[in-house]
């Protein structure tokens, strides 16, 4: 491949000041200089023009220079979207484990009334499905290869599942796409979680805790986020818990509460979590500065609820990675900045410092 030919292809978009072949790897080319057209327009032109060469443009900004990397296409793209039968088997297994969790909340007797777990299962799985398909359809809209959701069954647990994930098989085009795909899941899931929670609280009762919680049979109470406190106030007209009374939560309400918790956990602003995507889209490389404060916060909160130590361990392993888009130069537009701000507000409202507590 002739470097002069590639230089001519980009010449009306990018003023080339220097060229480095086989950088950062064999078959790649790095141009440094400055863009002459708006960044989003530049990327569209370059992407179309370089496709016949099987090269993928990657745009970065370093100090006062623009950097254009041309990478062999197989290094940056993926088209496989998984095996749907695996997704189906995992989903069916998760239906069973979530149904069992719902039975334990309603009757406590798995054999006596298997159908008693359906209200909880439908509520929780509806929230998780909406969340994951929010990501999936946003990825499809932007032409990004993605798998169907992989649900994770978790038998003998309070929720019956560890959630679900989709696997994005290609880099995001720019920060706008990164924000759209990252925010679509938690915001979509919350749209379903709120009515599920409202319906469940309408089925719940407010009762004294005295006599129901003992040292031999302690109560496992759900924690409060600002949003959960507000919704309880809307339904019952008082801040709960207070003066020894609290909501005896219906399984449907517990599904809605769990959906709110899942929203907050996914919006933690680190790594490849949804919140990490939102943070990188808003802040760029500065988003990496959030890693240490969030990790230390998880460790500190672990003294209140040891589940945060599990999250701290996950962040130690996966929290440093970010989904950096191909075009890291094009800024967010006004609408997406607003969406990003909404996602930040949702995180603040849904975060639950003490998700679970035992009351003797």
| Co-location of 67 and 117 in the same domain | no
| Co-location of 120 and 226 in the same domain | yes
| Co-location of 178 and 242 in the same domain | yes
Number of domains in the chain: 2
Query: What pTM, to 2 d.p., does this model score?
Result: 0.90
- Residue 168 structural domain: 84-359
Q: SS3 sequence, the chain?
A: CCHHHHHHHHCCCEEEEEEEECCCCCCCEEEEEEECCCHHHHHHHHHHHHHHHCEEEEEEEECCEEEEEEEEHHHCCCCCCCCHHHHHHHHHHHHHHHHHHHHHHHCCCCCCCHHHHHHHHHHHHHHHHHHHHHHHHHHHHCCCCECCCEEEECCCCCCCEEEEECCECCCCCEHHHHHHHHHHHHHHHHHHHHHHHHHHHHCCEEEECCCCCCCCCCEEEECCCHHHHHHHHHHHCCCCCECCEEEECCHHHHHHHHHHHHHHHHCCCCCCCHHHHHHHHHHHHHHHHHHHHHHHHHHHHCCCCCHHHHHHHHHHHHCCCCCCCCECCCCCCHHHHHHHHHHHHHHHHHCCCCCEEEEC
Structure tokens at 201: 């609280």
Are 326 and 171 spatial neighbours (Cβ–Cβ below 8 Å)? yes
Q: Which of 75, 110, 130 is the last residue of a domain?
A: 75
Report the C-alpha gap between 116 and 121 in whole angstroms: 10
Q: Which of 75, 98, 124 is the last residue of a domain?
A: 75
| CATH number, domain with residue 34 | 3.30.1360.100
| Co-location of 172 and 217 in the same domain | yes
| Co-location of 139 and 218 in the same domain | yes
Q: Which of 50, 75, 100 is the last residue of a domain?
A: 75
Whole-number average pLDDT of the chain: 89
- pLDDT, residue 266, reads 96
> What's the pLDDT tens digit per position in 30-51?
999 999 988 888 998 998 898 8
Per residue of the chain (360 residues), what is the pLDDT tens digit? 578 888 888 988 999 999 988 888 888 899 999 999 888 889 989 988 988 888 989 999 887 889 999 998 765 555 556 688 899 999 999 999 999 888 887 655 555 566 778 999 999 999 999 999 999 999 999 999 899 999 999 998 899 999 999 998 888 999 999 999 999 999 999 999 999 999 999 999 998 877 666 666 667 789 999 999 999 999 999 998 888 888 989 999 999 999 999 999 999 999 999 999 999 999 998 999 999 999 999 999 999 999 999 999 999 988 888 888 999 999 999 999 999 999 999 999 999 999 988 776
């Amino acid at each position: 491949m002739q470097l002069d030919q590639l230089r001519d292809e980009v010449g009306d978009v990018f003023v080339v000041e220097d060229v480095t072949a086989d950088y950062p790897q064999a078959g790649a080319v790095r141009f440094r200089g400055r863009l002459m057209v708006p960044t989003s327009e530049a990327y569209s032109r370059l992407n179309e023009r370089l496709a016949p060469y099987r090269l993928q443009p990657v745009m970065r900004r370093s100090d006062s220079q623009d950097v254009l990397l041309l990478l062999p296409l197989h290094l940056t793209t993926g088209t496989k979207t998984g095996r749907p039968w695996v997704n189906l088997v995992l989903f069916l297994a998760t239906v069973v484990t979530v149904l069992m969790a719902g039975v334990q909340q309603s009757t406590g007797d798995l054999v006596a009334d298997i159908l008693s777990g359906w209200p909880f299962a439908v509520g929780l799985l509806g929230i998780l499905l909406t969340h994951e398909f929010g990501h999936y359809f946003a990825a499809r809209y932007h032409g990004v290869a993605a798998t169907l959701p992989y649900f994770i069954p978790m038998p003998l647990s309070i929720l019956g599942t560890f959630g679900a994930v989709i696997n994005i098989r290609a880099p995001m085009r720019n920060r706008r796409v990164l924000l759209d795909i990252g925010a679509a899941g938690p915001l979509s899931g919350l749209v379903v979680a709120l009515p599920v929670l409202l319906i469940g609280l309408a089925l719940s009762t407010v009762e004294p805790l005295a006599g129901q919680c003992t040292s031999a049979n302690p109560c496992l109470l759900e924690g409060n986020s600002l949003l959960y406190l507000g919704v309880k106030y809307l339904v019952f007209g008082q801040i709960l818990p207070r003066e020894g009374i609290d909501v005896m939560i219906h399984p449907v309400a517990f599904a809605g509460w769990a959906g709110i918790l899942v929203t907050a956990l996914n919006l933690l602003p680190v790594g490849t979590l949804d919140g990490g995507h939102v943070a990188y889209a808003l802040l760029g490389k500065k988003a990496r500065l959030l890693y240490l404060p969030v990790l230390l916060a998880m460790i500190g909160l672990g003294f209140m609820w040891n589940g945060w130590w599990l999250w701290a361990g996950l962040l130690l392993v996966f929290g440093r990675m970010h989904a950096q888009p191909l075009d890291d130069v094009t800024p967010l537009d006004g609408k997406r900045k607003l969406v990003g701000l909404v996602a930040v507000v949702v995180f603040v409202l849904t975060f639950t410092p003490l998700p679970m507590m035992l009351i003797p």
